[in-house]
Every structure is written in structure tokens, then in C-alpha cells.
Amino acid sequence: MTYSKIAGTGSYTPDRILTNRDLEKFVDTDDAWIRSRTGIQQRHVRAEGETTSDLALVASRRALEAAGLTTADVDLIVVATTTPDMVFPSTACLLQAKLGVKDGAAFDVQAVCTGFVYALSVADKFIRSGSARCALVVGAETFTNLLDWNDRNTCVLFGDGAGAVVLQAAREPGIYSTHLHSDGRYADLLSVPGTVSGGKASGSPTVKMDGGAVFKFAVKVLDQVCREALEANGLAISDVDWLVPHQANIRIIESTGHKLGIDPARVVVTVDRHGNTSAASIPLALDLAVRDGRIRHGQRVLLAGVGGGFTWGSALIGM
Ligand code: UT7
């Protein structure tokens, strides 16, 4: 039996930091509101000309280095992103060229903030089936491209960044399970309802969100999908060393942790530093906790995401 296992993690955030105080200068908001309602203190914003594949490139190189592998070992690249460099080719193909990988499959997965969990699940299935041996799985976003900087309901929430893992074939898990869900009936609650047609952008190219409805839905399904993962593996929450949830709002994270009954000290939180980086948020948080020594070899980690679509999902992994 072949399983997949994380061999290395990496991440990258652009140098430019936008604090809540910086936002106060051009939008009707204040630091105290943003901190108390979301837990966000700052977010990173891409440099002029910096694209999603640029962010993904640095995170990928760091993940390969941590794994002790080279680009020659990679035979699959899956990039989760909502903010591709262009309509096509996929960001995964652009990343493939920048890395100098010349063969194997490369494609994007679009599941907004659940994108990384979806991408990990897909790559896990490629490896389990023998279709790939070494996958680069990336969540990367230049999400600030989608913001209306005059809309205080949304522009204070998001940021840019990338996280990556190298997933390798292994004799033992690795990834114990993934559970994916979606329900398109909720599409209107969180969307960028624009597209390219007739040679120009049509519709609206910025984020529209019913924050309250998204909040309630997120707390409900994150708890459900974590329980689903535990049940499928015959485990209790006390058997999990770390919860790495999607980083959208500290109150969503705390409510989910409370419902699950996990010690808050075992929940990885980065939303204060990164804001919501959509598909990048989970692998970014995972990499930070690996690099600062909290997440260690042999531990069990539960990843859980929720986002536009709606989509939601979890992955239970052994490091
Ligand atoms: O990855 C999934 C993506 N999205 C999410 O997960 C977001 C989920 N939702 C949330 O995080 C929260 O619903 C928000 C942070 C978006 C909003 O928090 P809330 O506690 O639900 O606030 P609210 O929408 O009930 O708004 C309360 C007040 C309103 O004023 P009034 O109508 O009560 O006078 C808003 O206009 O806060 C006002 N407000 C702001 N004030 C200062 C909304 N945004 C801001 C702001 N600064 N940036």
C-alpha cells in the first residue's frame, strides 16, 4: 500500500506590510474595530509587478530545501489559487517553468479558501494511485488584487502570501484522510462576480461578501468537518497535537476550537500577522509552526478550511 507524506514545508509573504493604522489613512475604519472583530493587526501586500506564481516560487523552493529534494524529483505540481497570474496558462504551469521542472503534470485547483485542502487531497490521491511520486502542493494568493479599497467591510480582512508542501510517496501515512465538501447554493454569499468577455472585464472584479452569514456557516462546517475526520480515523480531538484552521477571523478560529474542545494552545493562529490569505492561509500557518518548532515529526495535525463556493474540507495528517 502506498501513502503520501509531507517531506517538507515552505512559505513566503511579500515584504510590504499594511497595518490597521495604515488602512485608517484611506478607509473609514479603525485599528480597535479590526482587532476586536477579526484579530487582524496587519497583512502583507504584494510588490508592484509581483504575481501569485512569484510568491509560489519562493514558498516552493523553501519547501523543497526543507525536504532535501530538488526540482528534478517533482513529477506533479498542484497550485490552489483564486488569484491566478492570468486567465491561462495555469499558475501551476507558470510556476513549473520558473522552477525549471520540465515534465509531469501541473494544474490549478480553485476552491477559494479551502483550495489548499482540496489540492492536498488531489495530490494525495495521485500518489496513492501511483500516478505521481513527488508532488509540490501550493496555496498562493495575491488576494489584494480582488479588493475594493473603499469597501471597509472587506478590504481590511485579506492579504497576500504563499505556502507549499512537498508530498512524497511513503509506506506509511502521512495523510490519514481528507474530506471535501461543497454547496454551490451559497455562491452569492461570498464571490467576485466578474469575468473576462468580449475583450474586457465584465461584472464586478472585487470581493462581495455577506460577512455575518459567512461567519455562521464557517463555524458550523469547520466543526463538522473536523469531527468527520476524527470519526473516520477512530480518533478523539485529544489524539490530535495541532489544529491548523483556515485563518479568516480569530473569532471563527476560537469558536471552532471551543466547539471541538481543543486546548487553545494547540491551535495555530497567524491571522493577526497575515489577515486572510485565502488558499495560502493553511500552508502558511503550517510552515510557520513547523519552523518555530511547535509542529514536530511524528505529531498528528488536523487541517480544516472553509471558503467561497461554499467549499469546506479537512485533512488529518501525520508529520
Ligand atoms: O475565508 C472566508 C472569508 N470570509 C470570512 O470568513 C469572513 C467572515 N465574517 C467575518 O469575519 C465578520 O462577519 C466580519 C469581520 C466581516 C464582520 O464582523 P461582524 O462582527 O459580523 O460585524 P458586522 O458585519 O455585524 O458589522 C458591525 C458594524 C457595522 O456597523 P453598523 O451597521 O452596526 O453601524 C459595520 O458597518 O461594523 C461596521 N464595520 C466596520 N467598522 C469599522 C464593518 N466593517 C468595518 C470596518 N471598520 N472595517
Mention the CATH class of domain 1-319: alpha beta
Residue 269 is predicted with a pLDDT of 98
Q: 34 pLDDT band (50/70/90 cuts)?
A: very high
DSSP state of 73: G
Q: Is 307 in the pocket of ligand 1 (CB under 6 A)?
A: yes
Q: How many CB atoms lie within 10 A of CB 292?
A: 9
Query: Cα–Cα distance between 283 and 59 in angstroms, integer?
Result: 10
SS3 content of the chain, % helix, strand, coil (to 5): 40, 30, 30
Q: 283 pLDDT band (50/70/90 cuts)?
A: very high
Owner of C-alpha cell 489559487: 81
Nearest residue (by CA) to ligand 1, atom 20, is: 37
Q: Quote the cell numbers at residue 166.
A: 512537498
Report pLDDT digits (tens) over 95-138.
999 999 999 999 999 999 999 999 999 999 999 999 999 999 99
Q: Which of 20, 44, 93, 113 is catalytic?
A: 113
Residue 53 is predicted with a pLDDT of 98
Report pLDDT digits (tens) over 220-261.
999 999 999 999 999 999 999 999 999 999 999 999 999 999
Domain extents for the chain?
A: 1-319
Residue 259 is predicted with a pLDDT of 98
Residue 100 is predicted with a pLDDT of 97
Report pLDDT digits (tens) over 184-224.
999 999 999 999 999 998 999 999 999 999 999 999 999 99
- Which residue among 30, 37, 83, 191 is best mutated to probe the pocket of ligand 1, counting the most ligand atoms within 8 A of its Cβ? 37
Sign of CA dihedral 59, 65, 70, 75: negative
Q: Quote the cell numbers at residue 95.
A: 510556476
Residues in the chain: 319
Q: 149 phi and psi, to 5 degrees?
A: -70, 0
Q: Is 153 a catalytic residue?
A: no
